[in-house]
Amino acid sequence: MDRVRDRMPMSAPDISEEDVRAVAEVVRSGRLALGPQTEEFERLIAEYVGAKHAVAVSSGTTALHLVVRALGIGPGNEVLVPSFTFAASVNVILYERGTPVFVDIEPDTYNLDPEDLARKITPRTKAILAVDVFGHPAEWDAILRIAGKHGLRVIDDACEALGAEYKGKKLGGFGDAATFAFYPNKQMTTGEGGVVVTDDAELASLCRSLRNQGRGEMGSWLEHERLGYNYRMTEMSAALGVSQLARIEALLAKRDRVARMYSERLSGLEFVRPPAPSFSPRSGRGSPDRCWRRWRPGSPWWSPTCGATTTSSNTGRTGFW
């Protein structure tokens, strides 16, 4: 057996002939950056998640970094973040010399626990960076209530959760801004890519400037208004995004079919815990089955075998991707 060749991938991109044609057309056109495909992708993704503005960027990490920077998070600011997430959710706070403060997670969803969130607030807390882990929506009502009470900014790291809904509303409309990622293991892909979505026109405009070397939207190519980055999405990526987004419902349904297959075949194994239910009467959260799912080894002696992030005192487990 060839151990590498025969390994089952965690997930693979679903690329159609139409996707290939869309990308090839852009390559032939010679307009490879800052063009109509990026604008179209932004328009479509904003419409899909129900946000007013979208800013397409080079990855989910850069999307998150732009929001952290645009919200002015910096030295001395504490940001509450779940103790189980992908490393980028925490790294972006460190990029700006902010202080990540870890919040315990709920054992059934692996999302941050609102009760512990409230306990971790101090006079230095500036923001909450909540994550919809494995596509399962965080407890948004509670998070927004706590944020409102303490005047905190809210970032939704929905990088794993395109298409998921909380109480009938798509993720992307909770908090000051949300981010999605399009690496090939996500619900849809642009190769590498990400997006910031927000209803805040000023925040969107600042993110546009920051992703484009600090240029103003109206200024010339050599006019830099602020410190910025090259976090732009390419036209090839955007074209792939437009093409993939056109069949997002089919892509999500395919994931759902695979998830159901796993559910059928893994149910009854006592050392495997199924994902949290798709609809919880307690919270009214719904639709994680439209996103990612993860079956968890349920044995008490389970420990991760690759790359570690942090440990939750609720579950006693260490997060890893």
Ligand X SMILES: Cc1ncc(COP(=O)(O)O)c(C=O)c1O
Contact positions toward ligand X, by CB under 6 A? 59-61, 64, 85-86, 88-89, 131, 157, 159-160, 181, 183, 194
Q: Closest approach of Cβ 132 to ligand X, in Å?
A: 8
* Residue 91 or 216 having the CB closest to ligand X: 91
Q: Closest approach of Cβ 192 to ligand X, in Å?
A: 6
Q: What is the DSSP string of 186-236?
A: SSS--SS-EEEEES-HHHHHHHHHHHBTTB-SSS-TT-B-S---B-BPBHH
Name the strand (E) or helix (H) holding 286. strand 285-286
* Residue 81 or 203 having the CB closest to ligand X: 81
* Residue 41 or 86 having the CB closest to ligand X: 86
Q: Closest approach of Cβ 161 to ligand X, in Å?
A: 8
Q: Closest approach of Cβ 25 to ligand X, in Å?
A: 25
Q: Which residue, judged by CB position, is nearest to ligand X in the bound state?
A: 60
Buried b (16+ CB within 10 A) or exposed e, 29-53: eeeeeebebbebbbebbbebbebeb
Residue 117 in tokens: 């969130």
Q: Closest approach of Cβ 178 to ligand X, in Å?
A: 11
Q: Closest approach of Cβ 113 to ligand X, in Å?
A: 17
Q: Closest approach of Cβ 157 to ligand X, in Å?
A: 5
Who contacts 181 (Cβ-Cβ below 8 Å, separation ≥6)?
Answer: 59, 60, 61, 63, 159, 160, 193, 194
* Residue 67 or 181 having the CB closest to ligand X: 181
* Residue 36 or 165 having the CB closest to ligand X: 165
* Residue 173 or 184 having the CB closest to ligand X: 184
* Residue 150 or 321 having the CB closest to ligand X: 321
Which residue stretches of 100-139 are H helix?
Answer: 114-119
Please classify residue 107 by burial: count the beta carbons closer than 10 Å to its beta carbon, then call 0-12 exposed, 13-18 middle and 19+ buried: middle
Backbone φ/ψ region at 135: left (φ over 0), alpha (ψ -120 to 50), beta:
left
**What is each CA distance from 270 to 295, 296, 299, in whole angstroms?**
12, 11, 8
Residue 308 in tokens: 């570690």
* Residue 26 or 181 having the CB closest to ligand X: 181
Q: Closest approach of Cβ 101 to ligand X, in Å?
A: 17
Report the side by side order of strands in the sheet with 125-131. Answer: 53-57, 194-198, 177-181, 153-157, 125-131, 78-82, 99-103
Q: Give strand pairing partners of 169.
A: 166
